[in-house]
Structure 1
Amino acid sequence: MSTREAVLVTGASTGIGRAIVERLRTDGVRVFAAVRDLSTVDEHPLVTAVRLDVTSVDEARAAATTVTEALGDARLRGVVNNAGVAVGGPLEFLDLDEMRRQLEVNVVGQLAVTQAFLPLLRERGPDDPRIVFTSSIGGRVAAPYIGPYAASKHALNGMAESLRRELLPWGFSVSVLMPATVSTPIWDKGVVQVDEVVAGMPPRAVELYGEAIESMRGIAAGANDAGIPASVVADAAHHALFSSRPKAEYLVGREAKMMATVSSALPYRTFDKLVLREMRKS
Structure 2
Amino acid sequence: MTPTEAVLVTGASTGIGEAMVENLADNNIRVFAAVRDLSSVAEHPLVTPVRLDVTSAAEALEAAETVRAALGDTKLRGLINNAGIAVGGPLEFVELDEFRKQLEVNVIGQLAVTQAFLPLLREHGKARIVFTSSIGGRVAAPFIGPYAASKHALNGMAESLRRELKPWGMGVSVLAPASVATPIWDKAGDQIDEITGTLSPRAMELYGGTIESMRGMAKGARTGGIPASKVAEAAHHALFSRRPKAEYLIGTEAKMMATASNLLPYRTFDKAVLKEIAKG
TM-score, structure 1 length as denominator? 0.98
Equivalent position of 2:209 in the other structure: 211
Equivalent position of 1:173 in the other structure: 171
Amino acid at match of 1:263: S
Map residues 182-261 of structure 1 onto 2, 5 A cutoff.
182-261=180-259
Give, in whole Å, the separation in 2 of the partners of 1:144 and 1:189. 19
Equivalent position of 2:27 in the other structure: 27
Give, in whole Å, the separation in 2 of the partners of 1:224 and 1:193. 14
Amino acid at match of 1:230: A
Equivalent position of 1:64 in the other structure: 64
Question: CA 1:2 to 1:242, structure 2 compared with 1: closer, same or farther past 3 Å?
Answer: farther
Equivalent position of 2:274 in the other structure: 276
Q: CA RMSD, aligned part only?
A: 0.8
Give, in whole Å, the separation in 2 of the partners of 1:5 and 1:189. 36
Equivalent position of 2:18 in the other structure: 18
How far has the Cα of 1:100 moved from its partner? 0.2
Give, in whole Å, the separation in 2 of the partners of 1:159 and 1:34. 21
How far has the Cα of 1:4 moved from its partner? 1.1
Give SS of 1:92's match: coil
Give, in whole Å, the separation in 1 of the partners of 2:249 and 2:126. 22
Amino acid at match of 1:52: L
| Residues 137-172 of structure 1: CA deviation (Å, up to 9, x unaligned) | 000000000000000000000000000000111111
- The gaps in structure 2 that reach 5 residues or longer are none
TM-score, structure 2 length as denominator? 0.99
Give, in whole Å, the separation in 2 of the partners of 1:221 and 1:210. 18
How far has the Cα of 1:186 moved from its partner? 1.7
How far has the Cα of 1:2 moved from its partner? 5.0
* Number of positions where the alignment pairs a residue of Structure 1 with one of Structure 2: 280
2:130 maps to 1:104: no
Map residues 1-16 of structure 1 onto 2, 5 A cutoff.
3-16=3-16
The farther-off stretch of 195-204 and 180-189 is 180-189
- The gaps in structure 1 that reach 5 residues or longer are none
